[in-house]
Amino acid sequence: MRDSRHGRLVLVLLLAISFALITVDIRGGRNSPIANVRDWASAVFGPAERGVSAAVDPVGRAVNAVKDAGSHEGEKKRLQDENAKLRQQVDNIEFDRNRAAELDRLLKVSSAGQYKIKPARVIAVGPAQGFSWTVTIDAGAGDGIRPDMTVINGDGLVGRVTHVGPMTATVLLASDPGFAVGSRLAGSMEIGITSGRGDKPMNLKLLNGQANVKKGDRLVTFGSQGGKPFVAGVPVGEVAEVRNTPGELTRSVEVKSYVHFSRLDTVGVVIEPPRTDPRDAVLPPLAQEVAAPPSAPAAPPAPPAPPASTEPPKGTTAAKPPAGGTRSNNANAADPGADGRRKPSSGGTTPPTGRD
Amino acid sequence: MRISRVLFAALLIVVALVVQVSVLARLGLPGAVPDLLLLVVVGLALTYGPTSGCMIGFAAGLCADLAPPADHAAGRYAFVLCLTGYVAGLFVSRSPRRSVLAPIAVVAFAAAATTVLYAAVGALVGDGAVRQVGLTKLLLTAVVYDAILAPFVVPWVMALARKVDPKPMLSGLSR
């Protein structure tokens, strides 16, 4: 130990061990022997992270309150203290109200999509210089969380569960470069694969190179077999930019996610997928449609909202407008009863194509 | 290695790791996250020398690889921090009275080196995330944050480390 040659030996040995670990873990995939060790680690670190994040929240609020209140210099200290205390209380109220509102929206989404969700809070965030976008949530195996469940919040798709500890679970965010989700354009029903790119907007690769796609088109998840890892119909994002790359088989489209990954707090894990695909019923209403009076019967040639133009004679595609029954989809012939079954609010959009 | 040294290092590693993922990362700073774990490893290595440095780095990295938000292949951070601990240990300080600038320089260098090395190891095992995300912004912010945090953390870690185990292993150097 006191000899430099010895030191170098230790170094080389440890480097070799870590490289061996990397290969074993990658080769093993889901069944890698490291998974057991991870279970232990999350059993130990999970509660610690829960405790620290719970302890830190009020401190952060107090710091903010004091920061806000500290500008009146020369005033009596007592008043300042009182002011700070009151501000902190107000802050707490606001914080709680925010959280309540978030939960409320989460509930709305889950009832619109008929998902059964388990709410949870983000308690730890992976470092960005690790080139992976992951968070820990404070719900684990004890709450019924299993790997490969979809995670949503009031805005849309957050990610999927990768690893579950006894009290905590790890979520791979949709912004992670290794994340990919099959999704479809709510309007034209075109299918593509959306993948994360870190802080940059997500990337959509449409399978149909000729697909007509434009800015503002909206994306929902396509759904996987048995709802794992993705349940169908979760809002993913909006098309922000279409880039034409001549010569490539697929087209690259930039997608702005509905979820703000830097300020995640309350999320919901979909414990039970919906019995029927909610299609795009969960998408937020378009701004124009909200403004439009509900009495205007949406005649196919003159829809109030842009996204209809992708395939010629179609009604409005996205959720809210009235009189959803005007659809005659090309694929609809396969199941004419589909529109009748669907809730009127869903706009009767989609042909009942199967899930992925 | 003395038992007190092992326990002290283990305690610091766990605390640093939990604070990093549950507090610093949740601040939502643009770019990288201040790497408290790296600061602890560098501080301990600067006190205890290269051999202890690489062992402590390995242990710290392994914890970071396995503790909950981590989802990459286990061993990646262990590899990087092991090497960082060794190299930082080569700059072991001889006397307790030394300028605070040297540790900061070591930290800044280590921050850049770990980020690049981590990306390189990832590329070696087929993780293409770096190309998608881009390295420059992360590299710059990581160096800046760690250098800012260093004067508040590293001297404390070094002072505590000396108190726990007053004899730095200077003879570990064959210079």
Nearest Cβ partner of B68 from A128, A170, A262? Answer: A170
Query: Is B49 or A90 the better-scoring residue by pLDDT?
Result: B49
Q: Tens of pLDDT along A129-143?
A: 777 888 888 888 888
Nearest Cβ partner of B67 from A3, A45, A263? Answer: A45
Chain A CB within 8 Å of residue B168 CB: no
pLDDT at A320 over 60: no
Least confident among B55-59, B129-133, B157-161: B129-133
Q: What is the mean pLDDT of chain B?
A: 82
Query: Is A163 or A252 the better-scoring residue by pLDDT?
Result: A163
Least confident among A113-122, A244-253, B18-27: A244-253
CA B61 to centroid of chain Cα atoms: 8
Per DSSP, the three-state class of A254 is strand
Asked if residue B85 lies in contact with residue B56, where contact means CB atoms within 8 angstroms, the answer is yes
Please name the residues in contact with A320: beta carbons below 8 A apart, sequence gap of 6 or more. Answer: A285, A286, A289, A290, A345, A347
- In B, minimum Cα distance to A200 occurs at B133
Chain B CB within 8 Å of residue A45 CB: yes
Query: Is B154 or A88 the better-scoring residue by pLDDT?
Result: B154
Q: In the structure encoding, which two tokens stand for residue A162, read together?
A: 């990768």
ipTM of the complex: 0.79
Q: Assess whether the previous peptide bond of B168 is cis (omega < 30° from 0).
A: no
Q: How far is B73 from chain A (nearest CA, A)?
A: 5
- Name the packing angle between helices B76-89 and B50-66 (round to 10°): 160
Least confident among A121-125, A323-327, B160-164: A323-327
Asked if residue B128 lies in contact with residue A177, where contact means CB atoms within 8 angstroms, the answer is yes
Please name the residues in contact with B8: beta carbons below 8 A apart, sequence gap of 6 or more. Answer: B160, B161, B164, B165
Confidence of residue B57 (pLDDT cuts 50, 70, 90): very high
- Averaged pLDDT for residues A319-344: 38
- Alpha-carbon gap, residue A120 to A104, rounded angstroms: 13
pLDDT at A21 over 80: yes
Q: In the structure encoding, which two tokens stand for residue B163, read together?
A: 């108190």
- Alpha-carbon gap, residue A191 to A14, rounded angstroms: 47
Q: Quick one: pLDDT at residue B40? A: 92
| Inter-chain touch A129–B32, beta carbons under 8 Å | yes
- Averaged pLDDT for residues A189-216: 81
Please name the residues in contact with A261: beta carbons below 8 A apart, sequence gap of 6 or more. Answer: A133, A158, A173, A174, A175
- Alpha-carbon gap, residue A327 to A333, rounded angstroms: 11
Query: Is A127 or A286 the better-scoring residue by pLDDT?
Result: A127
Least confident among A60-74, A249-263, B96-110: A60-74
Of the candidates B148, B90, B146, the residue with the CA atom closest to the CA atom of residue B114 = B146
Give CA angle at A317 (A316, A321), nearest 5°: 60
For residue A152, which phi and psi values (nearest 5 degrees)? -130, 170
Residue B10's H or E segment, with its range, is: helix B3-19
pLDDT at A340 over 80: no
**Count of A-B CB contacts under 8 Å:** 199
Say what percent of chain A tops pLDDT 90.
0
| Inter-chain touch B72–A130, beta carbons under 8 Å | yes
**Long-range Cβ pairs for the range A23-31 (8 Å, 24+):** A23/B125, A25/B73, A25/B74, A25/B75, A26/B73, A26/B125, A26/B126, A30/A147
Chain B CB within 8 Å of residue A13 CB: no
Confidence of residue B73 (pLDDT cuts 50, 70, 90): confident
Asked if residue B117 lies in contact with residue B110, where contact means CB atoms within 8 angstroms, the answer is no
- In A, minimum Cα distance to B61 occurs at A18
A269: which strand partners?
A118, A151
Chain A CB within 8 Å of residue B73 CB: yes
Confidence of residue B59 (pLDDT cuts 50, 70, 90): very high
Asked if residue B33 lies in contact with residue A128, where contact means CB atoms within 8 angstroms, the answer is yes
Of the candidates B31, B4, B12, the residue with the CA atom closest to the CA atom of residue B85 = B12
Confidence of residue B41 (pLDDT cuts 50, 70, 90): very high
Residue A101, CA atoms < 13 Å, CB-side half-sphere? 7
Residue A151's H or E segment, with its range, is: strand A150-152
| Inter-chain touch B51–A168, beta carbons under 8 Å | no
Q: Are strands A157-164 and A191-197 parallel, antiparallel or unpaired?
A: unpaired
Q: Quick one: pLDDT at residue B82? A: 92
Give CA angle at A321 (A315, A325), nearest 5°: 50
Question: A6 contacts in B (CB within 8 Å)?
Answer: 51
pLDDT at A329 over 50: no
Query: Is A32 or B74 the better-scoring residue by pLDDT?
Result: B74
With a CB-CB cutoff of 8 Å, which residues 90-129 of chain A face chain B? 122-129
Domains and CATH numbers, chain A: 50-284 (2.40.10.350), 292-346 (no CATH)
Chain A CB within 8 Å of residue B129 CB: yes
Query: In chain A, what are the helix, strand and coil shares in percent, each to the nearest 5?
Result: 40, 20, 40
Beta carbons within 10 angstroms of residue A54's beta carbon: 13
Asked if residue A53 lies in contact with residue B69, where contact means CB atoms within 8 angstroms, the answer is no
pLDDT at A319 over 50: no
Say what percent of chain B tops pLDDT 90.
11
Most B CBs within 10 Å, among A11, A26, A50, A63, to test the B interface: A11
- Alpha-carbon distances, residue B21 vs A15, A47, A50, B111, B135 (angstroms): 25, 13, 11, 17, 21
Q: Quick one: pLDDT at residue B81? A: 92
- Alpha-carbon gap, residue A304 to A321, rounded angstroms: 9
- Alpha-carbon gap, residue A167 to A136, rounded angstroms: 10
Entry field: residues in chain A:
356
| Inter-chain touch A178–B22, beta carbons under 8 Å | no
Please name the residues in contact with B171: beta carbons below 8 A apart, sequence gap of 6 or more. Answer: A2
Nearest Cβ partner of B21 from A6, A126, A129? Answer: A126
Question: B31 contacts in A (CB within 8 Å)?
Answer: 128
Chain B CB within 8 Å of residue A43 CB: no
Q: How far is A272 from chain B (nearest CA, A)?
A: 24
Nearest Cβ partner of B73 from A22, A123, A135? Answer: A22
- In B, minimum Cα distance to A261 occurs at B28
| Inter-chain touch A177–B132, beta carbons under 8 Å | yes
Q: Quick one: pLDDT at residue A184? A: 83
**CA A21, A24, A25, A31 torsion: positive or negative?**
negative
Chain B CB within 8 Å of residue A42 CB: yes
Of the candidates B136, B22, B127, the residue with the CA atom closest to the CA atom of residue A199 = B136
- Alpha-carbon gap, residue B17 to A145, rounded angstroms: 25
Domains and CATH numbers, chain B: 3-166 (1.10.1760)
Query: DSSP secondary structure string, A185-197?
Result: ETTT--EEEEEEE
